[in-house]
A and B are shown apart, each in its own frame.
Chain A
């Protein structure tokens, strides 16, 4: 079994209102030195056998992320693989 993690983030130029709302709440915790908050999505895919990262890239590009507004990164989860 292999696990692959896909992290999806809004592109830097796309406004992230969710992140902004969180950033605006931080001063209530007396946090004043955080200059930016961006919120993304972590997706874990578990394969029955080995994971083909090229296929994962295709899945991410077609379905998990919208390349118009989002970037994604892929990494194999070593802990589970071991």
Chain B
């Protein structure tokens, strides 16, 4: 059966179309979700795409976090639904307390838009299972407020529990603490990533096809789960 992956559109979302296309290229059905609709339409996973959601007026993701769709997603994520937040989606996940820490203004104050190398540090999440530990991947980064911060205790806990999912290598584009580009929750079903895997899914439009790995991973994760459940 084809897996159904929801992609939420918030007012101002920019990359929802790209995220839906990445989902289709990975072999799943993309289900467009509207932020004001609390019904998740039975999707198997959710992507919170990047862009400049209306929450940014106060703090990135602060208002988006209170969308009706987010209330449902928070409950579902706590129940194990795989959720991937990309860029603004990462910010929303932090504001929703599904992930620790916060994303703040880039340390150098400049918007950064470039192809970025990352090192995959955890393959035990729902979204990174098809990568190999330590794999280096190239996907675009584009953000003005992508500097990941958390207190030292939280950072130490993330490291100790293997919850740093990816780190920037060959340069840190925004000053993120400990070069963190992506993190996960304790259960491994919720991942926030600042660079944009959905922009690295086709040779025509991206620097690599490495981004497809995240979408392929969640499909493998879901297939493994359904296989484990007796019919």
CA–CA, A60 to B95, complex, Å? 13
Q: B101 an interface residue at 8 Å Cβ cutoff?
A: yes
Q: Using a CB-CB cutoff of 8 Å, which residues 63-115 of chain B contact chain A? A: 63, 66, 94-95, 100-102, 104-109
Total number of A residues with any Cβ neighbor in B under 8 Å:
12
| A69-B109 contact given A13-B151, A63-B66, CB 8 Å threshold | no
Contacts of A66 in B (CB 8 A): 59, 62, 95, 102
Q: How many residue-residue contacts, CB under 8 A, span A and B? A: 34
Instruction: Name the residue among B62, B100, B108, B175 with the largest chain A CB count within 10 angstroms.
Output: B62
Indicate if A17 sits at the interface (CB-CB under 8 A): yes
Is B107 a contact partner of A64 (Cβ separation < 8 A)? Answer: no
Pairs across A and B, CB under 8 Å, 24 listed: A10-B104, A13-B151, A14-B149, A15-B104, A15-B107, A15-B175, A17-B105, A17-B106, A17-B107, A17-B108, A17-B109, A17-B175, A63-B58, A63-B62, A63-B63, A63-B66, A66-B62, A66-B95, A68-B94, A68-B100, A68-B101, A68-B102, A69-B102, A69-B104
